[in-house]
Chain A
Amino acid sequence: MISALLFALLAAPDAGPPPPAPQQEIAPPDIAPLVPPAPEYTLSLEDGDFRVHVNVRPGDPEANRVVELAFDLGRQGGGDSGEPQPWSGGKLALSVTGPGPRQRYLVRALGDAGSYGVHWTPPSRGLWTLTLAPYKDAGPSVTFQVGVGVSMPASAQGHMVQSSRVVVTAGRPVTAGAPALKQIMAELGRRWLQATEPGKPDPAGIRAMARLLKAVQGRRVPRERSAPATEFDTLAAREAAQLEQGGVPGAQSCLECHYKFRDQWSKPWPR
């Protein structure tokens, strides 16, 4: 009886309009290897009552590429029971020593309680020692090591390391999905910086940029803007064509698209 009903439903000549095709939200899968999600490296450290959770992004740092260090600071009250309370009373600095000049950076509060961060671009590969410490008043003082272009060190760094692991952003394997528009644009920016540095340009890198720009065409326009979606595709196609011929677009070419489709501009684009 049930199977007869199912058969009748499937065999019905017109069961209503077909479901709409899913909107193209993701880029063609062949560009996924060009925009790999960056791994993260995390550490949990202790200094007395203080608990310091360190997140290193990307988790496989390279020389001359910015590393974001995010610190979640907490203070364990009442023995070891319960969760640490976020600690935001600090004026903190990060000192870096290793195979390059020793430097000291102001660590900034990021808004959320206990959340601090700093950027650091390691100038050379090797094992670097980083010390987070207060520059004024009391606060946590922890030291840890980061491998730049080399493996991350074993977890014996003078402070108790409770965990040390490498995770992939959003817990997805690299091949699970294609990158979002924002990731593609960030990757394009990174490659554009490389391509416009003095020296011999990398033709393969420029071709990869053209593929990325082709992949963003036909998507929804990122925001509700005055310019129509077709113009977004036209601008992307113009830049892709230039890249395919080995030319790297100038900053003002990129700006025209950012101006019309990304930034909150109210004035018309100057002709």
Chain B
Amino acid sequence: MEQAVAALMALLLAAEPLLAGDARNARNLYRLHCIACHGEAGEPTDVGKPLGAPLLKDPTLISGRSDDQLMALLLEGTPAHPAAGTVLSLLDAADLVAYLRAGLPSIADLFPDAAAYTVKTYTLQGPALTRAEALVDGELQPDERSLTVFSVYGGEQPPAGPRLVPQDPVQLDGLSPQSRRGYVVFGWLGGAPVAMALSPDFAVARLLSPNAAVARAAPAVVGKGSREAGRRKPFVSKAAPDAARALTRLYARASEAAAMAAKEEADRHLFDFPDRK
């Protein structure tokens, strides 16, 4: 009987979400040590801007770094960021990192079965840029020609969320194309972040944003898109035409950048045994 109760307790405990940090402590730490430069909502202040403070509510910035990388930045500092190791403990840094991730769309929100992901920024040029500009029927601004792509893989899930795999050839080799779930890109619409998930065939699998217009445009976007550039069409939504145009712009860049990521992956596994592809 006792064993059964213990087993039941273990099952119940295992079902609970595992919190990566103490959000209440992190909020106080953020107010004490970060807010002067990074602002209440993660937007750089007048003091933070000349010091080069980035936009902390940018999901690309936060998702593109592992917990260890962010904690090292906080504790050890960089030429662009002070080392807070004299006032922050390792546990404080862990709380802050969890706090920074909370409230932003994450890889796990878009692919709940994600176990690992890679991140790389691609610059559209040549035929890729031409195709993207043809889809949006206009010119992409210079700052729109780069896009960070998160390639997402399944497998055994770490309890605290999917693991960021660095751009290291040996570690990348351990990611099988068969376990690839798709791609994620982040953009902005009306000052709010937009997360767009693409399936392996480059169709839009999911959209996330606090911007209500994105939800209204979603029926015209989710499920659309293609691996073949010639079959990609602009999204059209009567409910939210401007949002549909903005999402077309994001998709045009995302599909081309994801195609580059897919090509790199195929090249890495070109000489693999057939069962590993």
Partner of A121, one of B25, B47, B84, B160: B25
Cβ < 8 Å to B, chain A residues 66-95:
66, 68, 91, 93, 95
Nearest-Cβ distance from residue A187 to partner chain B, whole angstroms: 12
Chain A residue with Cβ nearest B98: A106
The count of chain A contact residues (Cβ–Cβ below 8 Å) is 44
CB-defined contacts of B160 to chain A, threshold 8 Å: 106
Q: How many A-B residue pairs have CB under 8 A?
A: 98
User: In the complex the two chains form, is B45's CB within 8 Å of A252's CB?
Assistant: yes
Which residue of the partner chain, among B21, B24, B32, contacts A64 with CB atoms under 8 Å? B24
Nearest chain A residue, comparing its CB with the CB of B34: A251
Question: Number of residues in B with C-beta < 8 Å to the partner?
Answer: 37
Does A16 sit within 8 A of B, measured CB to CB? Answer: no
- Verify if A36 is at the interface (C-beta below 8 Å from B): no
User: How far in angstroms is the closest Cβ of chain B from A64?
Assistant: 7
Q: Are A118 and B91 in contact (CB under 8 A)?
A: yes
Interface 9-residue window, one of B12-20, B123-131, B219-227: B12-20
Within 8 A of A (CB), among B1-43: 10, 13-14, 16-22, 24-25, 28, 31-32, 35-37
A85 to chain B, nearest CB (A): 23
Q: Is A131's CB within 8 Å of the partner chain B?
A: yes
User: Is A110 interfacial (CB 8 A cutoff)?
Assistant: yes
| List of B residues within 8 angstroms of A189 by Cβ | 32
CB distance from A267 to the nearest CB of B (A): 6
**Contacting residue for B18 out of A106, A193, A259, CB 8 A:** A106
A66, A110, A255, A262: the one within 8 Å of B22 (CB): A66
Instruction: Check if A25 is an interface residue, CB within 8 A of chain B.
Output: no
Q: Are B90 and A135 in contact (CB under 8 A)?
A: no
Residues of B within 8 A of A225 (CB): none
Q: Chain A nearest CB: distance from B171 CB in Å?
A: 20
Task: Give the Cβ gap from B73 to chain A, nearest Cβ, in Å.
Answer: 12
For the complex, what is the distance from the CA of A252 to the CA of B25, rounded to whole Å? Answer: 20
Q: Determine whether the beta carbon of B36 is less than 8 Å from that of A263.
A: no
B159 near A: Cβ within 8 Å? yes
B48 to chain A, nearest CB (A): 9
Partner-contacting stretch, out of A26-34, A39-47, A97-105, A211-219: A97-105
Beta-carbon contact of B32 and A193 below 8 Å:
yes
Contact B22 A105 (CB under 8 A): yes
A266 lies within 8 A of chain B by Cβ: yes
Given A66-B22, A121-B24, A93-B90 contact (CB < 8 Å)? no
Q: Are the CB atoms of A119 and B92 closer together than 8 Å?
A: yes
* B159 A119 Cβ-Cβ under 8 A: no
Is A117 in contact with B86, judged by CB distance below 8 angstroms? no
Q: Given contacts A66-B24, A118-B91, A119-B22, are A254 and B13 in contact (CB under 8 A)?
A: no
Contact (A262, B24) CB under 8 Å given A102-B16, A135-B18, A267-B51: no
CA distance A262 to B205 in the complex (A): 48
Instruction: Write out, one digit per residue, whether chain B residues 84-105 have a CB within 8 A of any chain A CB (1) or not (0).
Output: 1011011110110000000000
A106–B77 Cα gap in the complex (Å)? 24
Cβ of B56 to closest chain A Cβ, rounded Å: 15
Q: Please, which residues of chain A bring their CB within 8 A of the CB of B142?
A: none
Q: If the complex has contacts A121-B22, A251-B36, A264-B83, are A68 and B77 also in contact, measured as CB distance less than 8 A? A: no
Interfacial chain B residues near A110, Cβ < 8 Å: 90-91
CB proximity to B under 8 Å, residues A242-271: 250-252, 254-255, 259, 262-267, 270
| B13 with A95: CB separation less than 8 A | yes
Are A135 and B159 in contact, with the CB atoms below 8 A? Answer: yes
Q: Does A53 contact B (CB under 8 A)?
A: no
User: Is A136 interfacial (CB-CB < 8 Å)?
Assistant: yes
- A108 contacts which of B37, B82, B94 (Cβ < 8 Å)? B94
A263 to B10, CA, bound (A): 45
Residues of chain A with a CB closer than 8 A to B16's CB? 95, 102-104
Q: List the A side residues contacting B79 at CB < 8 Å.
A: 266
Interface check B50, CB cutoff 8 A: yes
In the complex, are the beta carbons of B25 and A255 less than 8 A apart? no
Closest partner residue, chain A, to B89 (CB atom)? A68
Contact, CB under 8 Å: B83 / A263:
yes
With a cutoff of 8 Å between Cβ atoms, the chain B residues found around residue A161 in the complex are none
The answer to whether A251 and B31 have CB atoms under 8 Å apart is: yes
Interface residues, chain B, with chain A CB atoms under 8 Å away:
10, 13-14, 16-22, 24-25, 28, 31-32, 35-37, 45, 47, 50-51, 77, 79, 82-84, 86-87, 89-92, 94-95, 159-160
By Cβ-Cβ distance, the 5 closest A-B pairs, closest first, are A263-B82, A255-B36, A121-B24, A119-B22, A270-B50
Listed by A's residue number, 24 A-B pairs whose Cβ atoms lie within 8 Å are: A66-B22, A66-B24, A93-B159, A104-B13, A104-B17, A104-B18, A105-B21, A106-B20, A110-B90, A117-B90, A119-B94, A120-B22, A121-B22, A123-B24, A185-B87, A186-B87, A193-B28, A193-B32, A251-B35, A252-B45, A254-B36, A262-B86, A264-B83, A270-B50
Q: A68-B89, A133-B13, A263-B82 are in contact. List 8 more A-B contacts (CB 8 A).
A: A104-B16, A105-B18, A105-B21, A106-B20, A108-B91, A135-B18, A136-B159, A254-B36
